Structure 1
Amino acid sequence: MKPSQLLELSCQLHKKHVTPTISVNFRFNETISKFTIHAVFDVFAKGNKRINLVNIKMDGCRYLSSLNGKNLFHKLLKRLRSVSDLPNGCPIVAQQKYEIRNYTFLPDEYPSNAPESHWQMRVKLLKQNELYVDILFDGAVVYNT
């Protein structure tokens, strides 16, 4: 996150569970009334070749207020809402502490025919084209047989 706009940030990865979970707390220094989300989703093929599946920019306030949708990003938002106190739209209020508690990816929310693979999803939050938050999810699809 952009340090000058951030009052608080803590991030913990909990590996004690069968499925690891993530918890995050954050507070911004100023109210955010408008922002853009730039999301990129890549899968790595044999030989570590990066294959881009999604490269999208969207209005962040509109995304936070969306209630339905079946694509990966709406599923992600639905899960985030179930484990957090993120706002249902803008503004993102200054000084207010927001929390994401024990977030994990649930296998039944994603295509059942996905092949075993390594993937990365990078989500950037921009305010007036200035980078405020840069999040990298790095994971794998693994079948325990």
Structure 2
Amino acid sequence: MVHGKAQQTNFRIFINEFAINLGVKDLFEEANCEVSRFRFVNCNMMIRRNIDQVDVEATLDILKTNNKTMRLFNVRLDGCQFFNTLHKNLLFNVFAKSLTNAIHGSLKCPVISHFNYTLNNWTLEETDFPNYMPECQFRTIIKFLEHDKTVHFNYTISNMHVDEADFPQYVPECQFKTLTKFYTEKKMVLRLVMEGRVEYKN
């Protein structure tokens, strides 16, 4: 929530619902959210162990009257940089900055166990947004994905040979280097779903 802006808007942003879904239930000691007066969100979360690395997937959709959706952003990034990274999408930056200012707790990795992370009276300030916003229903989903460290590799390469017959007839004379990356699986630990609406003042 950002204060001190002089500009006025003729629309209001309301939050109909702010739901928290747990993907790994035994990870959390507490995880609760509630909305008051369709404007203010209060949450608290406490986990049982540290989380060293997390990725974030965030989407914002406008819900049209014909049951179709229009996606305004679809962001995937390192969760450890989620609140500190500037993104080319203006709406995403507004949303992330607003959350950063309202959360009590250090927003960096590792996410610390037995610490009460809280979101206090968070709201979407109309003055943080462009002067014109379409009157609409909207839905935002943020997924937090933890790298699954239980994945193991056990393989052996023996007598490997690069067969020239497998390549095109012409290969330039050169030095070359091959790099192979293995990615661990990811599991969703937390999903936040916010639904709201934009209405213009009479």
Give deviations 1:22-80, integer Å, cap 9, x for gaps. Answer: 100110111111101011111122312111221221100012344x5672233223222
Q: Which amino acid aligns with 1:86?
A: G
Contact 1:64 1:87 in 2 (8 A): no
Please state if 1:11 is matched with 2:33: yes
Judge conservation of contact 1:64–1:90 (CA < 8 Å) in 2.
no
Q: Is the 8 A contact 1:6 1:26 kept in 2?
A: yes
Are 1:23 and 1:100, in contact at CA under 8 Å, matched by a contact in 2?
yes
Instruction: For residues 88-143 of structure 1, give each alpha carbon's deviation from its aligned partner in whole angstroms, at most 9, with x where no partner exists.
Output: 31111011111110011111111221110111111100002101111111011110
Q: Quote the residue 2:160 is aligned against.
A: none
Q: What value does the CA root-mean-square deviation take over the aligned residues?
A: 1.7
After superposing the two structures, state which structure 1 stretch, 3-12 or 73-82, moved more. 73-82
User: Quick check: which one's strand share is greater?
Assistant: 1
- The aligned residue for residue 100 of structure 1 is 119
3-state DSSP of counterpart to 2:66: helix
Mind listing any 5+ residue stretches in structure 2 that lack a counterpart?
1-21, 148-185
Q: TM-score, normalised by structure 1?
A: 0.88
Question: Structure 1 residue aligned with 2:197, among 132, 140, 144?
Answer: 140
Structure 1 gap segments, 5+ residues each: none
CA contact (8 A) 2:83 2:97 kept: no
| Counterpart AA for 1:64 | F
Give the total of aligned pairs.
141
Identity %: 21
Contact between 2:83 and 2:100, CA under 8 Å: does it hold in 1? no
Q: Is the 8 A contact 1:14 1:22 kept in 2?
A: yes
Q: Which has the higher mean CA deviation after the structures are superposed, 80-89 or 123-132?
A: 80-89
Equivalent residue for 1:60, pick from 79, 83, 96: 79
- 1:33 alignment partner AA: D
Structure having greater relative contact order (Cα 8 Å, sep ≥ 6): 2
Larger Rg, first or second structure (1 or 2): 2
Structure 1 consecutive aligned stretches of length 4 or more whose deviation exceeds 4 Å: none
SS in 2 for 1:47: coil
127-136 vs 42-51, greater mean Cα deviation: 42-51
